């Protein structure tokens, strides 16, 4: 409560995670607007290796010294960092990182990357680039977009060195530079448009209803598979619960899924998720007993009495973004 108003004055527009009045959907809309404005380009999709576990306490103290001198608050933060983590009955006291799940961890993570990444990108990187560029960060997940390939490759080369100063490492296998240029008519033989994942969505180029090339988003394959597996595991464990209880929870899970993934252009994915959930419910209801197999006719009667919410879209609230 004390740190938030202090640092909100400093945090930049490119940061969206764990901040008041900001959300993952706004981060997604920022990427959409920036890539559309540039007509595509090159996207640097970066993965920080075990960010919350490797955050350096000494570097963090130096960063906090620049903005905060209150000894009581500093000692309280130190206690949070040294509190230890209880895992399967064993308490560990790591010398680096912030405890995941700790109430102070999201704020400290934002403060750390604000200094290590956001300020550096705005004040040192962008003025030296030859073309347009942008950064969108949600906690420790971020992407950089560049209009020119040479700019993107320069940053890909220097970014690991920058992070080393703060005790951070980039996951080389998961970090990639994606050619995300707007397709041409006829298709550019020099390279086609790629795609990248961010916050559970795959971003790709597709045709609009009017025939224009636009950036589209769909649920990433990894997130879709994970959601289906989680739903199947829950239904298996709760297959003997009363039908109204199952129905109530399934409604909540589906509505939550629609609220996050139901963005423009992603109806096909959430409709597929709805059909998967309906099929999984039938499967596990049919295994409540070994005497008979639940037919689709019988399942239809269940769904008539206890209907599941159909797929629905959430219209994005797009706001003008400052030019970069």
pLDDT for the residue 146? 97
Q: Burial-class residue 92 by CB neighbours within 10 Å (0-12, 13-18, 19+).
A: exposed
pLDDT for the residue 48? 93
pLDDT for the residue 315? 62
Sign (positive or negative) of CA dihedral 241, 245, 248, 253: negative
Helices (H), 40-173: 51-54, 57-65, 71-82, 105-113, 119-120, 149-164
pLDDT in tens, 142-196: 999 999 999 999 999 999 999 999 999 999 888 999 999 888 765 544 444 689 9
Is 57 a residue whose pLDDT tops 50? yes
pLDDT in tens, 99-127: 766 788 889 999 999 999 999 999 999 99
Q: Distances in Å between the alpha carbon of 108 and those of 1, 44, 69?
A: 13, 24, 15
Task: Give the span between the Cα atoms of 272 and 257, in whole angstroms.
Answer: 12
Contact 222, 233 (CB under 8 A): no
Q: Work out the average pLDDT over 316-323.
A: 48
3-state secondary structure of 227: helix
| 185 C-beta neighbours (distance < 10 Å), count | 7
pLDDT in tens, 275-292: 999 999 999 999 987 766
pLDDT in tens, 77-93: 888 777 766 677 777 66
Is 242 a residue whose pLDDT tops 60? yes
Beta strand 90-92 pairing with 196-198: unpaired
Phi-psi region of 211 (alpha: psi -120 to 50; beta: other; left: phi over 0): left
Mean pLDDT (the chain) is 89
Look up residue 120 and give its two tokens.
């550096």
The H or E element that residue 243 is part of is: helix 243-261
pLDDT for the residue 320? 46
Q: Work out the average pLDDT over 9-23.
A: 94
% of the chain exceeding 70 in pLDDT: 90
Q: Rounded to 5, what percent of the chain is helix, strand, coil?
A: 45, 15, 40
pLDDT for the residue 88? 72
Beta strand 90-92 pairing with 85-87: antiparallel
Which tops the pLDDT comparison, 258 or 321?
Answer: 258
pLDDT for the residue 311? 95
Task: Give the span between the Cα atoms of 188 and 192, in whole angstroms.
Answer: 7
Contact 245, 291 (CB under 8 A): no
pLDDT for the residue 50? 87
Is 241 a residue whose pLDDT tops 70? yes
The pTM (predicted TM-score) of the whole model is 0.88
């Amino acid at each position: 409560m004390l740190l938030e108003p202090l640092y909100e004055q400093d945090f930049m527009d490119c940061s969206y995670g764990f901040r008041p009045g900001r959300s993952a959907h706004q981060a997604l809309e920022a990427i959409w607007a920036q890539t559309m404005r540039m007509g595509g380009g090159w996207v640097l999709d970066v993965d920080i290796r075990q960010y919350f576990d490797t955050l350096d306490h000494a570097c963090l103290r130096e960063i906090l010294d620049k903005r905060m001198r209150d000894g009581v608050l500093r000692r309280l933060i130190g206690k949070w960092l040294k509190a230890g983590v209880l895992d399967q009955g064993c308490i560990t006291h790591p010398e680096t990182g912030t405890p995941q799940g700790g109430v102070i961890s999201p704020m400290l993570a934002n403060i750390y990357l604000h200094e290590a990444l956001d300020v550096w990108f705005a004040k040192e990187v962008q003025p030296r680039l030859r073309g347009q560029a942008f950064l969108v960060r949600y906690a420790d997940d971020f992407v950089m977009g560049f209009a020119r390939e040479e700019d993107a490759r320069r940053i890909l080369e220097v970014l690991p060195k920058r992070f080393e100063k703060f005790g951070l490492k980039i996951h080389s296998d998961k970090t990639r530079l994606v050619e995300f240029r707007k397709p041409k008519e006829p298709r550019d033989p020099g390279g086609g448009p790629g795609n990248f994942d961010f916050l559970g969505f795959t971003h790709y180029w597709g045709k609009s209803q009017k025939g224009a090339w636009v950036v589209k988003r769909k649920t990433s394959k990894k997130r879709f598979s994970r959601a289906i597996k989680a739903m199947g595991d829950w239904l298996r464990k709760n297959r003997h619960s009363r039908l109204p209880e199952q129905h109530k929870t399934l409604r909540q899970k589906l509505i939550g899924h629609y609220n996050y993934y139901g963005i423009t252009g992603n109806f096909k994915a959430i409709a597929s998720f709805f059909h998967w959930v309906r099929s999984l419910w039938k499967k596990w209801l049919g295994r409540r007993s070994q005497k008979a197999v639940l037919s689709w006719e019988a399942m239809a009667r269940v769904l008539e009495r206890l209907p599941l919410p159909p797929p629905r879209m959430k219209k994005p609230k797009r706001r003008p973004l400052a030019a970069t």
